[in-house]
């Protein structure tokens, strides 16, 4: 894992723009009864962008998985609008990576917080998940 730490540096960032469609709404996600951007959708975008921020700096066979979120959804966004999501790497602690995440629409900030991801070996991670699945299903 030492090789990974040397390829990452504080300040790595990514940004992406997303359109708020019917599939992004709280009414679609089941997280509310109001047709506005769902908090789970905003969080999924934040995780996606944080993952992108470091993906190119990871060696072959490694990825990151989300393990913690502390996010506030500050304002509602209606369908048809565009949301810009940014993630910046702010901490490296061994395999754990800390990110500042933020989302905004044309009117301003709609969400912000922190997100933690852990670097994993993709094959080993999937194998462990399969072992858990086998144990749960009794096979």
- Cβ–Cβ under 8 Å, residues 86 and 109: no
Q: 99, 87 in Cβ contact below 8 A?
A: yes
| Measured distance CA(102)–CA(5) in Å, rounded | 24
Model confidence band, residue 6 (pLDDT cutoffs 50, 70, 90): low
Nearest to 13 by CA among 116, 94, 90: 90
- What pLDDT, on a 0 to 100 scale, did the predictor assign at position 71? 99
pLDDT tens-digit series, residues 73-88: 999 999 999 999 999 9
Domains of the chain: 2-137 (3.10.129.10)
pTM: 0.91
16-74 confidence digits (pLDDT tens): 999 999 999 999 999 999 999 999 999 999 999 999 999 999 999 999 999 999 999 99
Q: Which residues contact 75 (CB under 8 A, 6 or more apart)?
A: 105, 107, 108, 109, 110, 111
Backbone angles phi, psi at 119, to 5 degrees: -75, 130
Say how many Å lie between the first and final Cα of the chain, rounded: 33
The angle at the Cα of 101, spanning 112 to 17, to the nearest 5 degrees, equals 100
Q: Is the pLDDT assigned to residue 138 strictly greater than 90?
A: no
Per-residue pLDDT, 1: 46
Q: What is the pLDDT of residue 139?
A: 64
Place of tokens 């993709």: 122
In the prediction, which pLDDT does 2 show?
44
Structure confidence at residue 135 (pLDDT): 77
Q: Identify the pLDDT of residue 58.
A: 97
Task: Give the pLDDT of residue 62.
Answer: 97
């Amino acid at each position: 894992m030492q090789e990974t730490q040397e390829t990452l540096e504080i300040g790595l960032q990514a940004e992406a723009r997303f359109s708020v469609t019917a599939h992004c709404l709280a009414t679609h996600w089941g997280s509310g009864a109001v047709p506005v951007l769902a908090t789970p959708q905003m969080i999924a975008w934040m995780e996606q962008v944080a993952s992108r921020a470091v993906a190119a700096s990871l060696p072959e066979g490694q990825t990151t998985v989300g393990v913690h979120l502390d996010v506030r959804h500050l304002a509602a966004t209606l369908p048809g609008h565009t949301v810009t999501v940014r993630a910046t790497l702010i901490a490296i602690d061994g395999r754990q990576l800390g990110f500042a995440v933020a989302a905004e629409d044309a009117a301003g900030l709609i969400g912000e917080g922190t997100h933690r991801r852990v670097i994993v070996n993709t094959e080993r991670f999937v194998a462990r998940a399969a072992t858990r699945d086998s144990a749960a299903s009794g096979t």
